[in-house]
Amino acid sequence: MITISFINMKGGVGKTTSVVEIAAILAKEHNKKVLVIDMDPQTNATLSLISFEEWEKIKDTSTIADVLGMNKSASSRDDEFDIKDAIIESVGGIPNLDLIPSHLELTFLDLDLVSVAARESILKNQIDNSDLDYDFILIDCPPNLTLAPQNALVISDYIIVPVVPEIFPAIGLPLLVNRVKKWKKSFRDCKVEFLGMVFTKVDGRYNIHAQQMVALRKEKVIPCFSTIIRQNVDVSKSVAYHKPATVVYPYCSGVQSYRNLVKEILRKIP
């Protein structure tokens, strides 16, 4: 089981889109069993894979908020919420693709769990105590390093950092690298490594994009994937159908690029 978190402290850089398309391609075209965990209270990955109506039905009883122990008093449940109860199987029209959805309440996770011991390891304990059987777990993180993404990092083997090659999305990169380094010192059994940075939403008409890609490849703060993901409106349109573009527009240029990225990811992972 290989776990990859998608992190950048900047929003709007293609974290969610990358998680959804990479998960879909791994499941649909490489026959891998894949679990997407939506760790972002914005619930964008969730609603890219299931409908709003479907989410409404389960959102107050079985989401990542329940896995992390947020709703205990509300439901008078004790410690034994089973992570499997939060898994929705075969989402986005893909049989091998499962989802643990998110909840808007996750915004208050840090406040709610402030007095809980080992609160960074709740997800790890849940997974250790279950017999989940996936080839890949992909985690969509919010643009920060609060408690939810910390729970993701503890169980992650790798981090992928989507970056729009402009100035602002790159500003937080050294900070992110240093934070993760510091973090690993305090969590000795956390073995997470940066797998790479992927340039997203690249627009050939902007000189700044070409310049920033050259600069960031040279700086090597984080190693860069050679595949880049260009601007392609089709990858943003498929959310209307609550399915990945890989399913709705399988031949669009964005999906073709994500296919190349998946090949590169599989080559990079030992």
Ligand X SMILES: Nc1ncnc2c1ncn2[C@@H]1O[C@H](COP(=O)(O)OP(=O)(O)O)[C@@H](O)[C@H]1O
Q: Is 14 in the site for ligand X (CB under 6 A)?
A: yes
Between residues 39 and 122, which has the closer beta carbon with respect to ligand X?
39
Between residues 69 and 254, which has the closer beta carbon with respect to Mg ion?
254
Of the residues 63, 126, 232, 246, which one makes contact with ligand X according to CB under 6 A: 232
Q: Is 254 in the site for ligand X (CB under 6 A)?
A: yes
Q: Is 12 in the site for ligand X (CB under 6 A)?
A: yes
What Å distances lie between residue 145 and 6, 74, 120, 148, 175, CA to CA?
12, 27, 11, 8, 11
Q: How crowded is residue 48: how many other Cβ atoms within 10 Å of its Cβ?
A: 28
Q: How crowded is residue 239: how many other Cβ atoms within 10 Å of its Cβ?
A: 19
Helix, coil or strand: residue 176 = helix
CA nearest neighbour of 253 among 190, 184, 202, 192: 202
Between residues 16 and 156, which has the closer beta carbon with respect to Mg ion?
16
Between residues 142 and 165, which has the closer beta carbon with respect to Mg ion?
142
- 172 residue type, one letter: G
Q: Is 253 in the site for ligand X (CB under 6 A)?
A: no
Kindly give the pairing relationship between strand 2-6 and strand 97-100: unpaired
Least distance CB 236 / ligand X (angstroms): 3
Per CB under 6 A, contacts with ligand X among 184-213 are 200-201
Of the residues 83, 197, 229, 265, which one makes contact with ligand X according to CB under 6 A: 229
Q: Is 16 in the site for Mg ion (CB under 5 A)?
A: yes
- 83 residue type, one letter: I
Question: What is the DSSP secondary-structure string of 93-148?
Answer: T-TTEEEE---GGGGGHHHHTTT-TTGGGHHHHHHHTS----SEEEEEPPSS-SHH
- Residues composing the chain: 270
Least distance CB 42 / Mg ion (angstroms): 6
Q: Is 122 in the site for ligand X (CB under 6 A)?
A: no
Least distance CB 238 / ligand X (angstroms): 9
Q: Is 48 in the site for Mg ion (CB under 5 A)?
A: no
Q: Which residue is nearest to ligand X (CB)?
A: 236
The answer to whether 53 and 101 have CB atoms below 8 angstroms apart is no
Least distance CB 76 / Mg ion (angstroms): 33
Q: Return residues touching ligand X (CB under 6 A).
A: 11-17, 44, 200-201, 229, 231-233, 235-236, 254
Q: Return residues touching Mg ion (CB under 5 A).
A: 15-16, 44
